[in-house]
Amino acid sequence: MDVVNQGLEKELFEHLKTTVANAPIYQLLGIEAQLLGAGYAELRLVATQGHTNPLGIIHGGITCFIADGAMGNAIRGLGVNGVTVDFSNAFTAAAQVGDTIVAQGKVLKAGKHMIYAEAYIYSGEKLIGHCKGTFLRTTD
């Protein structure tokens, strides 16, 4: 899948694209970058049986994980790194096996030490979750 560059300098875009593609946890879960920009990122995965909970629906942890990744990569698109220090999530619906799940992460405010972001998670056109995160800025 081709990753869309939404206005990043080529070097930063290639770095982000490569690190997302090579991250072992993303490979394990099947997460791919869809779009990378300054303060905005979209990650996607096709839900499989391996992503389900005992009820047979996609585990909420998968939804939270892809949302955290989308917010983190939105931050990295600003040329900085951050680590999650607070995370809240509201589930609005469930995803099913075979659904394509997309998390859209967006930086709301980037301060000197703290960065605030949010993510909306979709299964097709259906909103399945909304997250907010606070990140500690670690490096430029």
pLDDT of amino acid 43: 98
Q: What whole-number distance in Å separates Cα of residue 53 and Cα of residue 135? A: 28
User: What is the block-wise mean pLDDT of the chain (140 residues), using blocks of 10 residues?
Assistant: 94 97 97 98 98 96 97 97 97 97 98 97 97 93
Q: C-alpha 110: how far from its chain's center? A: 17
pLDDT of amino acid 1: 72
How confident is the model over 66-83, as pLDDT tens digits? 999 999 999 999 999 999
pLDDT of amino acid 139: 81
Q: What whole-number distance in Å separates Cα of residue 90 and Cα of residue 16? A: 28
Provide the domain count of the chain.
1
Q: C-alpha 57: how far from its chain's center? A: 20
Q: What whole-number distance in Å separates Cα of residue 20 and Cα of residue 33? A: 7
- Expressed as residue numbers, the domain containing 97 is 4-139
Q: What whole-number distance in Å separates Cα of residue 109 and Cα of residue 58? A: 31
Q: What is the CATH number of the domain that holds 43?
A: 3.10.129.10
DSSP H or E run through 66? helix 60-76
Extract the tokens encoding 21.
Answer: 């593609």
pLDDT of amino acid 13: 98
Please, are residues 22 and 16 in contact by the beta-carbon 8 Å criterion?
no
